[in-house]
Structures are given as structure tokens and as C-alpha cells.
Structure 1
Amino acid sequence: MKLLILDRDGVINQDSDAYIKSLEEWIPIPGSIEAIAQLSKAGWTVAIATNQSGIARGYYSLATLDAMHARLRELVAEQGGEVGLVVYCPHGPDEGCACRKPKPGMLRSIGEHYAADLVGIWFVGDSKGDLEAAKAVDAQPVLVKTGKGQTTLSKGLPEGTLVFEDLAAVARALIHNHQDA
């Protein structure tokens, strides 16, 4: 199985320090929907692991979050692709859960769901927490320069981190380099 795991905010859709609180605020980064569809059509399973502490903070409801993910699935389907498992952490940073990145709980859940070994699996994110979660399960940390990526890049990266302009560049690399996989 060719499995790819993505962070959401700042990788797939535009991020906001004020949180993405409504379907109207959920705006795809140019090229990201097409990238997911292209990966899907090339045989990749694209799963998503996203911290959503705005739920714990009361900024938006689970129904709103579900609507955002339904919209993501719909947009990717319109391009002929499919989004795999979407897992999210609804907890606040002080709740001590095992799922909030940089803890690797969500990545482990995805691995268990697909019965996949996470060693070497690419986890694409835009924050240090994403990269640390990848390292915690021996996945391949991949940074995109969208979202908080430029700031993250300027602060130093875990050893072995791959860096791309955006999700479209990640998709091109994976599809080009793994077409025979």
C-alpha cells in the first residue's frame, strides 16, 4: 500500500491564527485539491491527521468540522480522486491527550486503520509539531512552505526532513518517483 499522511491547515487549506471556524473560512490552497486527486488516481491512499483544538475552545462544532471534511472529499472527488481516513484531535493543548501533535497518536491510528507500518511513510506538514510527530513513529517528515512552513523552516528542522514548496510539489515528486512502485 502506498500511504501518504497530510496535515490539514496550512497544507491542504489556508491556515489562520484565528482558527478556521466555518465552512466559508475553509479555503483550499491553490493546487492542493488537484494534488490529492492526482495522488489518489496514481494509487496513493491519502490520509489526514489534524489538530483541531478549536473544538475544545468552543470556536466551532464537530458538525462544522465534518462539513469542512465533507467539502474536501467532494472537491477531491470532483477531480476524480478520493480522500482516505481523516483523523483529528479535538482536544486543547493542556488536556494531556495522546493524539495532539507533536504526539503521534493520530499517526498511529492511521497506521492501525490501514494495517500499515509507518516507518518511512511520508507525513506532510507545515509545523514543527507535524515533523516531530513524524519522527516519533519513524515516518518521513516532509515540510511544505505553505501555511506556517516558512516560519518553521527558519527555526531549524529535524534531521532528514524533506522540504517542498507546496502539496502540489510533493505530489509531483511522489508520482514521478514512485510510478513503478
Structure 2
Amino acid sequence: MARHTCLLAALLLPLPALCQAAVSATNNTSIIAPVSAPISAIWAGEWRVAEFNLPPPSKVLTTRRDPATFQVKALIAAAECPMRYDGLVAQTDIVKRIEERERFQLDAANWPVGTDPAQFVGLKMEFDQAMRITRTLPVDNYRRVRVDCAGLPSTEDRFYLLNEGRRLFEFRFPDNGLSLSVVLYERAR
């Protein structure tokens, strides 16, 4: 059994995580890669925007893997930003979060007196598009990835999910409660 466990770990985990997994396996604990494990090499590449609910600042997201450290970095705002795992998130939880934000934003009671309800039409379309893109993500639990970058606003919750190694989803929820951004990237190379 231990031989099969080590073989499985060797196939699934990058080298630093493999060493940690081997120690964990001898302690009879799980060999699932820890949150601090390096991002899988499958994240590295060039990603082109396929769909979005709000136009993203760039049509391409480039991620690179440092062969010496195995760390994957995203090139954002001309800076290389380290990517890191940050727990699991379910597709259904993201859908609920979008629905909650939409209910709040489209409630006329949350807008200044005198706001014309016709202004909600564009906002409703943004939420509908965000929901449509999010629902293309199969219902499952995903490893959430965040970027550590000084050039990014600290006033938003931004994270990424990867589906089948071919589709990368970016979710941005501004802290001020206004709208949200959902971008679907597809692997270009």
C-alpha cells in the first residue's frame, strides 16, 4: 500500500510537495498537496480572453513557471505576481455569491433617491452574463488560486479557478459591493 501511495504522489505532486507528502504518508496522514504547495505546472501558459461580463484590462493573461523554484507567476500590470493555492471553493458557492450581489445591487432601495430604474438594465445584463459564464463551470469543488501582487487593488476579492487545464476563470468581487467581474480565459499555448 505504501509503495502505491508513493507512486501516486510521484505522479501527482511537484517535487517539494512530494517530499512533504512522503513525510506525511509515514505519519499516516493525507497526501493531498498542502495549500502551501507550489502551483501545478498546468497553470503556466498563455491564456486568451474567451468571454467576460465586463471588459478586462488585458486580452491575454500570461503565467510562467520558474524552473528553479517551481513557482508559477502571473504577469499582471507589468509585474510578475506569485500565484498560490488558497483552499477549495464550490461552483455552487460562487453562484450564490453572484446571486446575493445581484439581489442587493438591483434593489432600488439601495440606490440614491431619484435613480431611474432604467439604469438597472445594463447592470442586470452584466449580472446575467456573469452568471452564464459561471454556470459553464461544472458543479464541483475547485482549488482556489490567488495572486500576491502589490499592483492589484486590495479592495477586491480576486481569485482564479482552472477547469480541465484548458479553461481558466477569474472572479473579482470589489469590496464596495458594486458589480463584479467574471472572465473566462482559454489556453492559447
Do they fold alike, i.e. is TM over 0.5? Answer: no
Structure with higher strand content: 2
Q: TM-score range by the shorter chain?
A: under 0.3
